[in-house]
Amino acid sequence: MTSSVTDALVGQVIDGRYRILSHLADGGMASVYVAMDARLERRVALKIMRPGLASDHLFVDRFRREARAAARLSHPNVVAVFDQGEDGGEVFLVMELVAGKTLREVIHAEAPLTAREALAVLEPILEALRAAHDADIIHRDVKPENVLVRTDGEVKVADFGLARAAGSQSTTSQSGVVLGTASYLSPEQVEHGTSDARSDLYAAGLLLFEMLTGRKAVTGETAIQIAYRHVHGTIEPPSEIVPTVPTALDEMVARATATEPADRFPDAATFLGALRSVRGLLSSDELDRRGVAGPAPEAPSEPDAHRSTSPTQALGTTTDPPAAPAAHEAAPVLSPTAALPIPATNQRPRTRRRWPLVALLLSLLVLGGSAGWWFTVGPGGTTLVPDVAGVRLEQAEGSLVARHLRGAPTEAFSESVPRGQVIGLTPTAGTEVRKRSVVTLVVSKGPERYTVPDLTGVKAGQVERTLHKLTLTLGPRTEQWSETVPKGEVVSQDPATGTSVGRGAAVSLVVSKGREPITVPEVVGKPLTDAQAAITAAGLEIERADDAHSGTVAKGSVISQKPAEGTLHRGDKVTVTVSKGPVMVQVPSVVGKRVKAAEKTLTDLGLKVRIERPLGEFFELVRNQSVRAGQSAPKGSTIVLTVV
């Protein structure tokens, strides 16, 4: 991305949220800007991918996938990834903005560093790599430019843009190009295109070499020459460049940068343990002695023409740097007795032997005095371990230094001791130990707390596995009917989502039994108002069909219902048919008619007829009818005819 393009982006707003304030740096894959997050009102580092890579959808897909992986890392020594996305063709990554210098700048300005300084920088780098490896992520591009030293001294590892899940070992891009920076590639990355956690540790060993010497461990005129030397060369001991480097650090560099991964530290935790052990064994003078790098060595020669063809032969021979100037010759060492006068020949022989005897006696006196000083008030003497439990780490380390002891802090959770204070120490307070001994300080990380996840809607069978990953346990489980949560899924939980709890805390669950079945109430024959109340009280809804006449069910009461029995669920409908009462018929006059004709007239109208003959059978004429002519009677009702 050219400077004109980078300058053009200043002032623009990315993704409607990140206003670019200034251009910060350029890298091989992207340019970095200082931006203002308008939503959270904070400054962030905004990395925008180069246009050529942004148009490669395979690279962009991997970039997104691996950005999400990096965002999972939450560690004080890892630069946090806040967001990633794409806006108008600009593929971007939003990261924590760290105010300070890169380790490259520190090395240029201050290297060679002392052993203490180098180990103080390497330790948080290894802590960051351990956190990444524990999350199954390898960095693959550990180098000084990707290590940031904040103004307050805190060290952070940045740019997991090349990071990949540790289970996926390929280190090549889709085009087959090895990913990473040549000077820090491990032999297996160069030779086989594979990497694992030990590849990151190889690069960390190279960083230690560079901090101790101020020089890169592997150099060359081209990337291929450098790669060849990773595979076929060896890393020289830092002490050959800076003689003051302790042998223990030579050995640490040698193990970390072994050609075969199996010969290196197996993991970051082991590397950290070795670092702390070596630091505890070195004296203050060894830790704080600042050396000066010797003359630059000659570049390693390339394979000659009589050997098998190598990658460097196609490049031609390299120009070796000038030979280092010869070291000064050592001055002659004089004997302690060289200045003593030689006795004359006329002196007695035993007089000549007196000087060696005197020298021996003086030496014994000096040695005796020195030994007494060494084993009493000197470094070889003893001291008592001070009681520093409950005090801040900085204060505890100061108390140890005052007693000529060295602290080796390690962390542990504590429910009672505040974060940063000492929980306990080994050896215990009051123990008599040699001066310069190492005292292990167990420092509180504060209460061990975990955030309760949102389990609602999760299948009950999956909950225990989810909780186990967070060191939480499954508490009592109860069941209840639910109209909204499917059967077998979590309805609610206790503690609630987002609650901070201790290790092993139990989370209780309420699990759905599904929708509650409701027995359909019987309402046939009941007045509509009573039927409606019964159905509503059951949690069902009533639906009224067209009313119908009924000769048996009173008007306004329920003739029938659907369904008539069984079960429904809350909110389901019960359909009822309400009686309009019987069909009414207007009764005609049949008085004076012969009984047969009168009976037929009434039955044709749907009425029933009953004949009464109080005077016997004479004329067979209707004298009276029970319902007067013109009145209405229910269809099917009985009309009584009086016949004479």
- CB neighbour class for 370 (10 Å; exposed up to 12, middle 13-18, buried from 19): exposed
Sheet hosting strand 473-480, strand order edge to edge: 473-480, 506-512, 490-494
- Structure token digits, residue 95: 């990261």
Q: Which residues pair with 409 in a beta bridge?
A: 441
- Say whether 307 sits in a helix, a strand or coil: coil
Tell me, rounded to whole angstroms, the distance of Cα 538 from its chain centroid.
49
Which phi and psi angles does 245 have, rounded to 5°?
-65, 125
Please name which of 276, 185, 274 lies closest in space to residue 231, comparing C-alpha atoms: 185
**What is the Cα–Cα distance from 199 to 162, expressed in whole angstroms?**
13
**What is the Cα–Cα distance from 190 to 210, expressed in whole angstroms?**
20
Output the CA torsion sign for 594, 598, 601, 603. negative
Give the helix, strand, coil percentages of the chain, each rounded to 5.
Answer: 30, 25, 45
Quick one: which H or E segment has residue 34?
Answer: strand 30-37
Q: Which of 61, 83, 87, 141 is catalytic?
A: 141
- In 16-174, which residue ranges form alpha helices assigned H by DSSP? 51-54, 57-71, 103-110, 115-134
Interstrand relation of 406-412 and 438-444 (parallel, antiparallel or unpaired): parallel
Please indicate whether residue 288 is annotated as part of the active site.
no
Peptide bond into 495 cis (omega under 30): yes
**What is the Cα–Cα distance from 512 to 39, expressed in whole angstroms?**
39
Cα end-to-end distance, the chain, whole Å? 125
**What is the Cα–Cα distance from 49 to 29, expressed in whole angstroms?**
6
**What is the Cα–Cα distance from 160 to 134, expressed in whole angstroms?**
15
Please name which of 162, 164, 159 lies closest in space to residue 80, comparing C-alpha atoms: 159
Quick one: which H or E segment has residue 191?
Answer: helix 187-191
**What is the Cα–Cα distance from 94 to 82, expressed in whole angstroms?**
5
**What is the Cα–Cα distance from 2 to 26, expressed in whole angstroms?**
9
265 CB-near residues (< 8 Å, 6+ apart): 198, 201, 255, 256, 271, 274
Quick one: which H or E segment has residue 580?
Answer: strand 573-581
Residues recognised as catalytic: 141
